């Protein structure tokens, strides 16, 4: 529905032409906002945005808008701004904001609420937005006074980008934008990058952690998505070197360290089933006497149902959110603070200690990890090099690995695509981004995340991997990418099945519902109808040339890969419970 028409107040016409809309945009500009994501509402902001150097990016659905904003924020390292109208538009923001909330991504949402004079009179699309957004936002407010607009915008950016980052929602009535702008002070604060406030953990706790690490016999590190939020890559790499520590990551933490490093274990948790890249390293985890958790929520997936670590291990837990520290594993040392600052201080403390025990263990660890990597390659050779049709997903990932550079941004959609990416692509450097929607893990969210990532980094290659079930949730945004010149490559595993759902039903119930299977869809044809290059891939030999052509093309490209519906990735919970398909 079109936004409510409003009268321009006489106060504006009689005085200055500067309105609250101008005030809002000036504040956004001050906070470094360059992109406004939405569907033309609040209309004044989209009409005036270019005057302030703010580019409007208008997508097809508000649901996708919130996820585009999420992807943008993750790569741009800036607070993203997304907008929506009241009622249905606001409701469609909730899934994306929920993902950002759980994944600690800063997004500010402006919701065009009903006009002030119509509040509680049952106007069109009126809704209880305050309660709607409470579960998925750090801060929710309705702003209805022109003289408080700058205050609330500054508060919104401060809350979104500080502490544990996350979404903030401001409801703004449409008539407010037409009010005359009040006199504005000379505000200079720019709060649009994150984190804005870095806090160091207790120095005594840092010393205690250093002592535990130095004296541990078999310590390990498991890094989560908080390392990306903090950009603690150099500090984590230094810790790995100084203390000779094996480092694993969660799916959200993938890329926190180079997986090519001789002490890197890859992604651990629920993704360690048969043919998993980290499965051969499980003995290292099982004998750990000290587990150092960094920016890690210790959630179900990241801990394989809280079964991954030895029961007698001690834990050091570093996180910006004190609630997460010790949530599921009692922490012998609590480090509440920013990962980048705290790891820097910890490395300094470690360098003052005798680390001969750790140094002596390094050669043996590297040899064990190298042997595990060789075992993984042997066990997966038949599927990675498969020439069969339909095409094995492992073969698709092997060919993708050949074209990925350290600067490539990879987005794996929720469900099986996340697990394929976690296991069959390797981070070539600390800080390489592999984005998967693991906050709430909704399928179909990956493609909008990829659009946002490419908006943030137009000069970097962006490669999206999703199943046909996931992609169907978002293919309307093919047109959005074409209209805005967002050039990326999409790889669709077209197997006509909701694979995770089907396999989970078979494991738990011994049968699956009819809704798991689809009729054949030609995604390449859909892409071509939206102005993309659309290529259907039916033979494994076609994969590499098609990927190389896509990544060098000046147009968006979608590869519709006819994939094996019987293939499933290495989930520990499925081990021995599904037919083994080589």
The stretch 348-353 carries a mean pLDDT of 98
Amino acid 185: pLDDT:
76
Is domain 203-370 in CATH 3.40.50.1220, yes or no?
A: yes
User: What residues does each domain of the chain span?
Assistant: 10-178, 203-370, 386-572
Q: What is the distance between the alpha carbons of residues 353 and 346, in angstroms, rounded to a whole number?
A: 11
Check for a shared fold between 10-178 and 386-572: yes
pLDDT in tens, 230-273: 999 999 999 999 999 999 999 999 999 999 999 999 999 999 99
CATH class of 386-572: alpha beta
Place of tokens 């698709």: 396
Cβ-based neighbour number of residue 187 at 10 Å:
13
Q: What is the reported pTM?
A: 0.95
Beta carbons within 8 Å of 293's beta carbon, 6+ residues apart: 222, 224, 315, 316, 317, 318, 319, 329
Distances (CA, A) of 234 to 241, 243, 390: 11, 14, 42
Amino acid 16: pLDDT:
63
pLDDT in tens, 481-496: 999 999 999 999 999 9
For 161, the token pair is: 């980008």
- Tell whether the model's pLDDT for residue 94 goes beyond 70: yes
Amino acid 499: pLDDT:
96
Task: For 50, list phi and psi in degrees, rounded to 5.
Answer: -60, -30
Q: What is the distance between the alpha carbons of residues 506 and 499, in angstroms, rounded to a whole number?
A: 11
Task: For 258, list phi and psi in degrees, rounded to 5.
Answer: -70, 125
Residue 142's DSSP bridge partners are 171
Beta carbons within 8 Å of 304's beta carbon, 6+ residues apart: 268, 269, 270, 272, 572
The confidence band for 9, taking pLDDT boundaries of 50, 70 and 90, is: very low
- Tell whether the model's pLDDT for residue 6 goes beyond 50: no
Mean pLDDT score of the chain = 95
Percentage with pLDDT > 90 across the chain: 93
Q: What angle do CA 165, 266, 205 make, to 5 degrees?
A: 50
For 17, the token pair is: 């032409």
Residue-wise DSSP of 5-45 = P-PPPHHHHHS-S-BHHHHHHHHHHHTT--EEEESS-SHHH
Q: Is 465 helix (H, G, I), strand (E, B) or coil?
A: strand
* Angle, helix 543-552 to helix 393-403, in steps of 10 degrees: 40
Of 11-15, 179-183, 199-203, 406-410, where does mean pLDDT reach its minimum?
A: 11-15
- Tell whether the model's pLDDT for residue 1 goes beyond 80: no
Amino acid 300: pLDDT:
96
Percentage with pLDDT > 70 across the chain: 97
pLDDT in tens, 419-471: 999 999 999 999 999 999 999 999 999 999 999 999 999 999 999 999 999 99
- Tell whether the model's pLDDT for residue 4 goes beyond 50: no
Beta carbons within 8 Å of 307's beta carbon, 6+ residues apart: none
**Contact indicator for 107, 76 with CB cutoff of 8 Å:** no
**Fold annotation for 10-178:** Rossmann fold (3.40.50)
pLDDT in tens, 306-342: 999 999 999 999 999 999 999 999 999 999 999 999 9
- Tell whether the model's pLDDT for residue 7 goes beyond 80: no
Cβ-based neighbour number of residue 454 at 10 Å:
28
- Going by C-alpha positions, the residue among 230, 221, 194, 237 that lies closest to residue 427 is 237
């Amino acid at each position: 529905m079109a936004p409510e028409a409003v009268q321009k107040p006489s106060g504006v016409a009689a005085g200055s032409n500067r309105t609250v809309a101008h005030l809002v945009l000036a504040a956004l500009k001050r906070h470094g906002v360059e992109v406004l994501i939405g569907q033309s509402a609040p209309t004044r902001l989209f009409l005036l945005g270019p005057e302030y150097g703010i580019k409007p990016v208008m997508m097809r659905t508000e649901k996708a808008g919130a996820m585009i904003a999420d992807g943008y924020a993750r790569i741009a390292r800036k607070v993203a701004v997304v907008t929506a109208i009241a009622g249905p538009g606001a409701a469609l923001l909730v899934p994306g904001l929920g993902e950002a909330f759980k994944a600690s991504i800063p997004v500010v949402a402006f919701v065009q609420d009903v006009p002030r004079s119509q509040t509680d009179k049952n106007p069109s699309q009126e809704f209880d937005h305050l309660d709607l957004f409470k579960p998925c936002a750090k801060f929710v407010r309705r702003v209805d006074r022109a003289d408080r607009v700058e205050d609330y915008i500054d508060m919104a950016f401060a809350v979104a980008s500080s502490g544990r980052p996350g979404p903030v929602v401001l409801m703004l009535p449409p008539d407010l934008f037409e009010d005359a702008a009040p006199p504005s002070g000379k505000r200079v604060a720019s709060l649009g990058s994150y984190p804005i406030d870095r806090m160091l953990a207790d120095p005594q706790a840092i010393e205690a952690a250093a002592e535990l690490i130095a004296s541990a016999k078999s310590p390990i590190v498991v890094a989560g998505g908080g390392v990306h939020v903090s950009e603690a890559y150099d500090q984590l790499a230094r810790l790995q070197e100084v203390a000779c520590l094996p480092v694993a990551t969660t799916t959200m933490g993938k890329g926190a360290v180079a997986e090519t490093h001789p002490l890197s274990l890859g992604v651990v948790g629920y993704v360690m089933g048969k043919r998993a890249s980290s499965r051969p390293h499980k003995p290292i985890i099982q004998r750990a006497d000290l587990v150092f958790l960094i920016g890690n929520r210790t959630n179900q997936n990241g801990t394989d149902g809280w079964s991954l670590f030895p029961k007698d291990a001690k834990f050091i837990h570093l996180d910006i959110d004190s609630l997460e520290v010790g949530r599921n594993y009692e922490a012998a040392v609590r480090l509440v603070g920013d990962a980048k600052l705290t790891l820097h201080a910890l490395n300094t403390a470690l360098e003052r200690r005798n680390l001969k025990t750790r140094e002596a263990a390094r050669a043996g660890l590297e040899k064990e990890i190298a042997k595990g990597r060789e075992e993984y390659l042997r066990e997966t050779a038949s599927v990675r090099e498969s020439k069969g049709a339909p095409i094995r997903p492992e073969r698709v990932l092997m060919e993708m690995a050949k074209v990925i550079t350290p600067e490539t941004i990879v987005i794996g959609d929720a469900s099986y695509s996340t697990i394929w990416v976690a296991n069959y692509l390797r981070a070539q450097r600390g800080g390489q981004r592999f984005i998967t929607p693991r906050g709430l893990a909704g399928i179909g969210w990956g493609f909008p995340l990829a659009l946002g990532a490419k908006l943030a980094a137009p000069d970097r290659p962006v490669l999206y991997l999703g199943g046909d079930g996931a992609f169907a949730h978002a293919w309307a945004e093919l047109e959005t990418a074409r209209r805005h010149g967002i050039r990326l490559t999409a790889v669709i595993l077209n197997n006509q099945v909701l694979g995770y759902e089907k396999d989970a039903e078979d494991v738990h119930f011994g049968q699956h519902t009819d809704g798991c299977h689809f009729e054949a869809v030609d995604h390449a044809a859909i892409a071509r109808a939206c102005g993309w290059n659309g290529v259907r891939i039916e033979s494994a030999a076609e994969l590499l040339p098609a990927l190389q052509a896509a990544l060098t093309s000046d147009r968006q490209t979608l590869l519709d890969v006819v994939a094996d519906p019987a293939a499933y990735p290495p989930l520990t919970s499925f081990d021995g419970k599904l037919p083994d398909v080589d």
